[in-house]
Amino acid sequence: MSEKTTSEFPVTAMLSEAREAPQVVARLLESNAALCRDLGARLRASPPPFAVTCARGSSDNAATFAKYLLEIHSGLVTASVGPSVTSVYSARPRMRDALFLAVSQSGRSPDILHLANAGREDGALTVALVNDTTSPLASTCEVVLPLHAGPEKSVAATKSFIAALAASLQLVAHWSQDKALLTALDTLPEVLAKAAATDWSAALSMLSKADDLFVVGRGVGFAMAQEAALKLKETSGIHAEAMSAAELMHGPWTLAGDHFPVLVLSQRDETLNGVNDLVTKLNEQDVPVVVAGAAEGPAKVMLPSVERVHPYIAPIALIQSFYPLVNAIAQARGRNPDAPPRLRKVTETV
């Protein structure tokens, strides 16, 4: 009997919501354009000395994407501050004049609210990227950039994660007034639609049989490795670890082997040569490698991707293509991706 393709598995709420992402992003880009233009003008007039991100779970992965954008494109040192610093330790980090970005789907986790409130009280410009605009986080922050994702019922975030990526990119594009990036941003909904239809079934057999694996990315694409690893954990029960292509070479790759494959996500930018070198070295060590994106073989599985896109757009397209694959992996392993054990949609940590 032939192996199933990803499209032959039942459509779950997670997959259905992931398929909504192109429309969500189109709505977000149109609705938030004026907000981002105004915020960008404000940031140009009073440049912050540094930026702070605050988030948990998938939202924290989106914050990683924002961090790389701000540091690479805007030259702004950006720190991810642990919410427990204020909520548990009662410390008051100095954030005066900083750009404070809180990323959340629900906007209701007490620890996120603690840090956002501390930032605003200390004089930071607090900005919430949040799906629920009636939430306490939206009320706490000075500026709200709605995610416009609509209700998301599956425990595993998909369309709200992609919306948070798009919101970060839109803010940076308008802040920098980068014409090439603004033009690329306009193509994002169409690119996502193509990515959603891209078939990654070739990786299904290998990855669904794995209990451990690395997901590798670098630079602006590292956040997608984090997100893919999280989804493999929560939906499929696979011990997946996100790893920078550079960090993997410093020791962890000794774990990889016949029963410990590597999924490589890559974009066509300054990181590509290093990622290609890694793929070659892993192949020389007979490590099973799945490659998606711009990286070239040799690899056991090469997955298709949307070509000729801006390097900041490419990683978002890759995670859009990944969601149907992880939906299939979970079900191939006998799990319901909409109802992972011991998890619920809104997690409120202190």
| Residues 328, 323: Cα–Cα separation, whole Å | 9
Radius of gyration of the chain (CA): 19
Q: Tens digits of per-residue pLDDT, 316-349?
A: 999 999 999 999 999 999 999 998 766 555 555 5
Least confident of 31-35, 228-232, 274-278: 274-278
Confidence of residue 300 (pLDDT cuts 50, 70, 90): confident
Per-residue model confidence (pLDDT) at position 1? 31
273 contacts: CB under 8 Å, gap ≥ 6: none
Confidence of residue 266 (pLDDT cuts 50, 70, 90): very high
Per-residue model confidence (pLDDT) at position 250? 73
Taking residues 293-301, what's their average pLDDT? 86
Per-residue model confidence (pLDDT) at position 348? 52
Taking residues 53-81, what's their average pLDDT? 95
**Torsional sign, CA 131, 132, 137, 138:** positive
Taking residues 301-321, what's their average pLDDT? 96
**The residue type at 256:** A
**Whether pLDDT at 64 is above 90:** yes
Q: Tens digits of per-residue pLDDT, 125-182?
A: 999 999 999 999 999 999 999 999 999 988 889 999 999 999 999 999 999 999 999 9
**Whether pLDDT at 226 is above 70:** yes
Distance of alpha carbon 296 from its chain centroid, rounded? 23
The chain-wide mean pLDDT, for the chain, equals 93
For 128-187, where are the alpha helices, taking DSSP H only?
A: 136-140, 159-176, 179-186
| Residues 220, 82: Cα–Cα separation, whole Å | 21
Give Cα separations from 106 to 118, 153, 292 (angstroms).
19, 12, 31
**Whether pLDDT at 115 is above 70:** yes
Q: Tens digits of per-residue pLDDT, 239-248?
A: 999 999 888 8
CB 39 within 8 A of CB 174: yes
Residue 302, classed as helix, strand or coil, is strand
| Residues 271, 62: Cα–Cα separation, whole Å | 19
**Whether pLDDT at 50 is above 90:** yes
Per-residue model confidence (pLDDT) at position 252? 79
Instruction: Work out the percent of the chain whose per-residue pLDDT is above 70.
Output: 97
For 197-302, where are the alpha helices, taking DSSP H only?
A: 204-208, 222-236, 245-248, 272-284
Taking residues 179-192, what's their average pLDDT? 97
